[in-house]
Amino acid sequence: MKRLDRPRPGAAPAAAAVAVGLPGDVRLMNAAVAFVVTGCVLGLLAAGVLWLTRAPAFTLRAIEVQGTLTRGQLPTLRTHALPELAGNFFSIDLAEAQRAFESVPWVRRAIVRRVWPDRLVVSLEEHEVAALWEASEGGPGGVSGLTRLVNRFGEVFEANLGDVEDEVLPLFTGPEGRAAQMLALWLRLQPSFAGRGQRIERLALSSRGSWRAELGKGVVVEIGRGTDDEVAERTERFLRTVGQLTARYRQPYLHADLRHADGYALRLRGVGTAAPASAAERGRN
């Protein structure tokens, strides 16, 4: 008689299970089903997106404009920016909408965002004008002339000059791309002139980097070349000492040339530089 011993705990099974693969046709059918299901899901998603882009329920019904508009830009926004907006709440291109609003004169920056379920909120930043701009070597497209403005960031922008005809603004004349530097120097020099009752009405920068300031009543100051610090120091030195000369002759100056290494040349109103004519010369005249 055979004795059957009980297996000891932890002992390995006598035989291992053998994995049996699915037939090829079954695997092919499973792949086809997965493909069909995936296609249906993607089709439903595409149909849902298409429905969202066309559903009347998501038509934009209001556009809220935020920000201070001191130039009366609302009519311009309606006629120029709004017709450029296409799509509904989901399909509108916010980048395109931003560019449409920023194309409006006096608008420096626009931020456009969606507000559920049917509204756009547009935050506008307006240009704050600081000066008139006249390109010395031609503006965009090679056209020179007084057609643009400079904002407080030193950026040149186009706008209707009639909007600023009542404002007292300095005129900058210089090469393209130098407006920010010119604004910074004007802001640095103007307080010194203002302390002496004068104002820089026109600041010019030549293509060779020479500065020229034109004040009221035809007064011209040729400042010359150099870094901003050198130009400012030269101008300050001139303004500290010119009062002594004008007080001595009791005449204001008309033209000052600071482009000298050891000082400056000055022309006073009513004071000539030519030698007086002799009696014989006066008789011949």
pTM, to two decimals:
0.73
Residue 281 lies in a domain: no
Residue 203 lies in a domain: yes
Q: What is the CATH number of the domain that holds 180?
A: 3.40.50.11690
Q: How many domains does the chain have?
A: 2
Question: Is the Cβ–Cβ distance between 205 and 175 less than 8 Å?
Answer: yes
Residue 102 lies in a domain: yes
Q: What is the pLDDT of residue 242?
A: 95
Q: What is the pLDDT of residue 23?
A: 73
Half-sphere exposure (Cβ direction) of 199: Cα atoms closer than 13 Å: 7
157/245 same-domain check: yes
Q: What is the pLDDT of residue 271?
A: 72
Residue with tokens 């017709």: 83
Task: State which of 126, 152, 180 marks the end of a domain.
Answer: 126
Q: What is the pLDDT of residue 279?
A: 43
195/253 same-domain check: yes
Task: State which of 106, 126, 146 marks the end of a domain.
Answer: 126
89/185 same-domain check: no
161/258 same-domain check: yes
- Amino acid identity of residue 217, one-letter, is K
Q: Domain containing 108: what range?
A: 60-126
Q: What is the CATH number of the domain that holds 93?
A: 3.10.20.310
157/182 same-domain check: yes
Q: Which residues does 169 contact at the CB level (< 8 Å), separation at least 6?
A: 129, 130, 131, 132, 149
Residue 43 lies in a domain: no
Give 10-residue mean pLDDT values along the chain (285 residues): 48 51 68 63 52 63 88 83 90 95 93 94 96 76 66 94 93 96 98 96 97 96 97 96 91 95 89 49 42
134/120 same-domain check: no
Residue 65 lies in a domain: yes
99/230 same-domain check: no
Q: What is the pLDDT of residue 275?
A: 41
252/137 same-domain check: yes
Task: State which of 126, 151, 176 marks the end of a domain.
Answer: 126
Residue 184 lies in a domain: yes
Residue 255 lies in a domain: yes
157/223 same-domain check: yes
74/138 same-domain check: no
Phi, psi torsion values for 242, nearest 5 degrees: -65, -25
Q: How far is CA 144 from CA 14, 138, 139, 155, in A?
A: 99, 4, 5, 17
121/68 same-domain check: yes
Rounded Cα distance, 233 and 250, in Å:
26
113/144 same-domain check: no
Q: What is the pLDDT of residue 112?
A: 97
